[in-house]
Structure 1
Amino acid sequence: MIIVTTESVPGKKTIEYKGFVKGSTVQSKHIGKDIMAGLKTIVGGELKEYTEMMEEAREKAIERMVKNANANGANAIVGMRLESSSVMQNASEIIAYGTAVVVEV
């Protein structure tokens, strides 16, 4: 699956538009890692527990978006974007979305 943030795949002709596709997930860390991250805010620095959580969430959201595109018969996704939001304390939603297309191979 080709995934680009541009409106088309460079060097490829778009044959067909399949439509909007998306994938999302809501992630949280367990209380132990949450406490460690809270302590880290006192002294400063990267909150690695949350960095890892958000990386896992992005991967899952993109994987689900690709599954949605494959189900629609696409071989590429153009205009891909990622967004995040807080759904509750210590839990974030990541949404990956774009337009599924068929490009020449």
Structure 2
Amino acid sequence: MPPTYTSGSDILLSNLEIVPGRRIRTHLGVVQGSTVRAKHVGKDLLSGLKNIVGGELKAYTELMQEAREEASRRMVEQAESLGANAVLNIRYSTTSITAGAAEILAYGTAVMLE
């Protein structure tokens, strides 16, 4: 079975270019979703201290997980608006916007599978 999951909607999401056993009927194009998140000043202070002694910066881990989920949700909404039943070859990208803020971009190919 390929590494796929569903988003809570009926759209199949996969990091693969194809789905074994399924044929792509229609290619609908690239879909994307993004969000820009900023650090909380209080959490930033505590993370700065953690940075000195080492270890995981859990506040940032949670922030980035929430950002990936939001970007993915927006990507799925765009795919649904095109009539897709799957988004394939999903990728994520992170870009620093300013000091303390980052963009998470989720993108993939919207398709209709048979």
When the two structures are aligned, how many residues end up with a matched partner? 104
Q: Match for residue 55 of structure 1? A: 65
Q: Match for residue 77 of structure 1? A: 87
Q: Match for residue 107 of structure 2? A: 97
Q: Which runs of 5+ in 1 are unaligned?
A: none
Quote how far apart the aligned CAs of 1:84 are: 0.3
Quote how far apart the aligned CAs of 1:34 are: 0.8
CA deviations over 1:4-45 (Å, ceiling 9, x no partner): 111112221111010010000001121101111111001000
Structure 1 distance, partners of 2:20, 2:88, is 10
Give the TM-score normalised by structure 2. Answer: 0.88
Q: Match for residue 36 of structure 1? A: 46
Percent identity between matched residues is 52
SS at 2:15's partner residue?
Answer: coil
SS at 2:55's partner residue?
Answer: coil
Structure 2 distance, partners of 1:66, 1:10, is 21
SS at 2:52's partner residue?
Answer: helix
Q: Match for residue 35 of structure 2? A: 25
Structure 2 distance, partners of 1:11, 1:80, is 19
Structure 1 distance, partners of 2:26, 2:69, is 26
Give the TM-score normalised by structure 1. Answer: 0.96
SS at 1:20's partner residue?
Answer: strand
| Structure 1 residue ranges (4+ consecutive) displaced by more than 3 angstroms after TM superposition | none
Structure 2 distance, partners of 1:87, 1:102, is 34
Relative CO higher for 1 or 2, CA cutoff 8 Å, sep ≥ 6? Answer: 1
SS at 1:35's partner residue?
Answer: helix
User: Does residue 2 in structure 1 map to residue 12 in structure 2?
Assistant: yes
Structure 2 distance, partners of 1:10, 1:54, is 31
